[in-house]
């Protein structure tokens, strides 16, 4: 939760963040922490069935994807998912490998590892925007 609060304050509009890790690794928990840190008061539920949930908090527009059940590349277009990556929305994507080739590239990738107690996370920046985000996290 402490890390997600720091991440919340290092986000910029339009960022794409991939969340990688096994079932139960803490991806949704991180998104919940980010939204809480931005002052979002409502419930943050896992988009397991809806595939995407949307939020507005602290003047930011967030989209939380969970593509675990995503199977049909055609749905990518028909559901309008592509339109969500519009340079304004901050898109946090669980199970990005399910839509490989369709999904825009990540600015930042967060890889979760389950430890006997707690979690380890590794951060990777893939763009200038991603670098700036990780720099902000360190400051």
Using the rule CB under 6 A, which residue among 101, 118, 128, 138 binds ligand ATP?
118
The yes or no reply on residue 53 touching ligand ATP (CB under 6 A) is: no
Nearest to 15 by CA among 128, 98, 99: 128
The yes or no reply on residue 28 touching Mg ion (CB under 5 A) is: yes
Residues in the chain: 139
Binding mask 74-103 for ligand ATP (x = CB under 6 A): --------------------x---------
Tokens in use for 106? Answer: 């990540």
Are 21 and 66 a contacting pair, CB within 8 Å? no
Nearer to ligand ATP, 28 or 89 (CB): 28
The yes or no reply on residue 119 touching ligand ATP (CB under 6 A) is: yes
Nearest to 56 by CA among 68, 46, 44: 44
């Amino acid at each position: 939760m402490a890390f997600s609060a720091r991440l919340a304050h290092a986000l910029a509009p339009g960022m794409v963040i991939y969340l990688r890790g096994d079932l139960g690794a803490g991806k949704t928990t991180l998104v919940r922490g980010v939204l809480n840190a931005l002052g979002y008061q409502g419930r943050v539920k896992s988009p397991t069935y809806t595939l995407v949930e949307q939020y507005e908090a602290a003047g930011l527009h967030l989209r939380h994807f969970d593509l675990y059940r995503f199977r049909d590349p055609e749905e990518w277009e028909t559901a309008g998912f592509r339109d969500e990556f519009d340079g304004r929305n901050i898109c946090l994507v669980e199970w990005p490998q399910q839509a490989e080739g369709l999904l825009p590239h990540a600015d930042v990738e967060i890889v979760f590892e389950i430890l006997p107690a707690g979690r380890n996370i590794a951060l990777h920046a893939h763009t200038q925007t991603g670098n700036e985000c990780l720099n902000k996290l360190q400051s």
